[in-house]
Structure 1
């Protein structure tokens, strides 16, 4: 097996080969580290590549295999972690030069659970400063590139994780989603990403546990791998009010007879013609497999960006405003503008936004009285060229992410799965949304599409960065 073949193995198969002593964790991790060192100059996907720590962990994993120890489900599997999630002993930089990175002395709960399952962390991936937008560029690492076409964005804010996955740098990634930050890069990089139900994976680092709309979630190249990482990270925690109890079991479901509500356009924005056609074909494949598909328009999704903007910008003003006051000249201009906007809302407007959030939740709940899942294009367009992006705040986000931030507000699980490719080779994602704790049905539909379309086997043509990019 070549080094590249090892790098593109699914996590589930990689773990089986390691457990059967057919592949060494040391060799697996070394292959992925070599690929990271070769391709990161083109992609700029890593804030910190933890090569020495990963090699030491791989040696410990190998010793456990040879000793016949009981192995976890991710034993020896390389994984990346977004640079806004704590990993003990590694810098936590948040993509910022306005503050000094800290070195946490303990892992985030989700990271600790992945490590306990045997995962080997190879590095921290890039994000926009404090994860404030769906484009991965910051003053600390610069611009992250899309492995399918280096002139295009990988999305964000989990853009480094999405780009690394697509390029074969680890089969799994731990990411976060505060307004589409897992699903946008999943779509634009041709991988799978899940924003879980609020509380399914504990978010103990979120300052507001009760009004929270940001989530830790898994990304992967394969749906089965995504399900595996979800199973490792989920579960109760006393640190998160929404994670006090175990997730209830979702009823068994198959694509045959699944009731799908198909929204080709969401809210007031239109999906571009190419994206709409590709995602509609993917929904048609589910219909051919026995799903019952009904096209609908849901007015509850109209005008929601204004609601999201109040909540997101006030949160950033409260948490990062002191940095603007002391080191604003070192802060990303779009984050500065977001904080200024957040300082302008009144308490009445903030509470009205929370009320609208509750109304949205109830409206989406009503849809699930008719449907098992909802399906939408993940974003209204494919990955934009880096030289065509509006550099201002909020830029293209309100239109691109019109189908994303509603489910951050409502708490419903939402998954992006590959739907196809454009004629010029850019990936397109289909978003699947379920009722609270309905992740299982999303995974079933995603796995069915993966089997029917065969897109998980595609590999991007990563190349050195041309001088003009």
Structure 2
């Protein structure tokens, strides 16, 4: 296979070739490392590249396959990890100067599970400092850039994960998502990413942002690949006290069922309002495709939906400030200005503000539970706009009015975060400038399977996920 052929392989395409020994893990890993060397100077997607370790592991996985020890569909697959996920013996900075020299002596649970499945870790990818922001404009390790246009942002906080996957430097990556940090980069980088139900995937040994909303999950080019990674990391973990003892479904077996009869909900006066025209057009077109596949749509009222941004900002301010309290007093100068300001603001909230925000979460969740009596999933855009220029702090969505970037970013992704629901982002088109548009699909608690099924059916009928940036 040519270098280009190797880079464009999906996990689903590479895995059977590796099992049949038609493709070598060493060859595949080397192609990815060469790709990283070629594009990372431009994109700054990786903070740490584990080149020699990756080569050593690739050789070991190849010997295992030759000896008849094939571990499954991630065996020999090169992946990347967001740099707030612990990796034993490899520094884990969380995108922060404060943790620049931190080398964990044990793995995160998700890291350990991926290793046991035979995955090859290429490196640790860039992120917004301590995951508190949505741009991945990192003052310590450099600004991460969007492969579709390096003058545009990759979103965040898992911007490095999104850019690394879209740029074909790995076959999949892990990100973390509190208020949208997997789904936002998935949207603007034209890939797939899922936020799981709270408790579905272990957070053990992952540097926290906001404990009550943090999640870990995969980012890939296809829904099928996302399922392959998700099945490995999902499930109860005794090391995480918030891990849910809920059985993990056989998601892959459900992918081919189709979506005929599936009921799709649009939140009245919310799902398709206050969005850039290109975003609205792409999502409406995607809904038409889903209807052609047998799904039906209907509007559902949700009276409390408009309070979500205020509640999310309150929780995402208070909880990080509690975690960072000591460093904020002893090492304030080691934070980037934007993150330090947000952490200082978090200490200004009253306990009553935080409690009211948590009460709002219960109200919102109840409205979703009621809504799920009528529909199977809800759909919104992932973001109301496409990728903005790097360094921008404001965005224009409509009527030439400038809005604060942080609040605008949270418009749709904060909703399932607050309600503790799973949400999938998948690519559904491009704007006139060739920048990707993402659609968010929100599901019932622990019903990631329906989201995967819908996304897989959509990708079977469209080709947006096969497009690649020209770097």
**Fold similarity call, TM over 0.5:** yes
Between stretches 268-277 and 138-147, larger displacement belongs to 268-277
1:266 corresponds to which residue?
270
1:200 matched to 2:200: yes
Paired with 1:125 and 1:206, the residues of 2 have a C-alpha distance of 14
1:313 corresponds to which residue?
317
CA gap 1:62/1:18 in 2 versus in 1, 3 angstroms: same
Partner SS for 1:302 = helix
1:408 matched to 2:431: no
Are the aligned partners of 1:194 and 1:218 in contact in 2 as well (CA < 8 Å)?
A: yes
- Where structure 2 has 5 or more consecutive residues not aligned to the other structure, the ranges are 396-402
Paired with 2:171 and 2:208, the residues of 1 have a C-alpha distance of 31
How far residue 244 of structure 1 moved from its aligned partner, in angstroms, is 4.1
Q: What is the CA deviation profile of residues 155-200 of structure 1, one whole-angstrom value per residue up to 9, with x for unaligned ones?
A: 1000001001001011110110011000000000000000001111
Paired with 2:448 and 2:426, the residues of 1 have a C-alpha distance of 13
Select which of 371, 375, 380 maps to 1:376. Answer: 380
Between stretches 329-338 and 262-271, larger displacement belongs to 262-271
Are the aligned partners of 2:126 and 2:161 in contact in 1 as well (CA < 8 Å)?
A: yes
1:396 matched to 2:379: no
Paired with 1:146 and 1:48, the residues of 2 have a C-alpha distance of 18
Paired with 1:208 and 1:455, the residues of 2 have a C-alpha distance of 33
2:398 corresponds to which residue?
none
Paired with 2:147 and 2:70, the residues of 1 have a C-alpha distance of 37
Partner SS for 2:374 = coil
Are the aligned partners of 1:286 and 1:449 in contact in 2 as well (CA < 8 Å)?
A: yes
- Where structure 1 has 5 or more consecutive residues not aligned to the other structure, the ranges are 463-469
1:232 corresponds to which residue?
232
Are the aligned partners of 2:324 and 2:343 in contact in 1 as well (CA < 8 Å)?
A: yes
Partner SS for 1:344 = coil
Q: What is the CA deviation profile of residues 389-443 of structure 1, one whole-angstrom value per residue up to 9, with x for unaligned ones?
A: 349xx94121222111121111110000011011211000000010011111111
How far residue 264 of structure 1 moved from its aligned partner, in angstroms, is 8.1
Are the aligned partners of 1:206 and 1:212 in contact in 2 as well (CA < 8 Å)?
A: no
Are the aligned partners of 2:209 and 2:319 in contact in 1 as well (CA < 8 Å)?
A: no
2:399 corresponds to which residue?
none
Partner SS for 1:431 = strand
1:447 matched to 2:456: yes
CA gap 1:388/1:343 in 2 versus in 1, 3 angstroms: closer
Partner SS for 1:243 = coil
Pairwise mapping of residues 312-391 of structure 1 onto structure 2 (< 5 A)?
Answer: 312-390=316-394
CA gap 1:250/1:28 in 2 versus in 1, 3 angstroms: closer
Paired with 1:390 and 1:106, the residues of 2 have a C-alpha distance of 40
2:114 corresponds to which residue?
114
2:175 corresponds to which residue?
175
1:300 corresponds to which residue?
304
TM-score (structure 2 length as normaliser) = 0.93
Paired with 2:413 and 2:264, the residues of 1 have a C-alpha distance of 18
- Give RMSD over aligned pairs: 2.1
Paired with 1:291 and 1:53, the residues of 2 have a C-alpha distance of 47
1:434 matched to 2:422: no
TM-score (structure 1 length as normaliser) = 0.94
CA gap 1:380/1:343 in 2 versus in 1, 3 angstroms: same
How far residue 325 of structure 1 moved from its aligned partner, in angstroms, is 1.8
1:61 matched to 2:52: no
Partner SS for 1:402 = helix
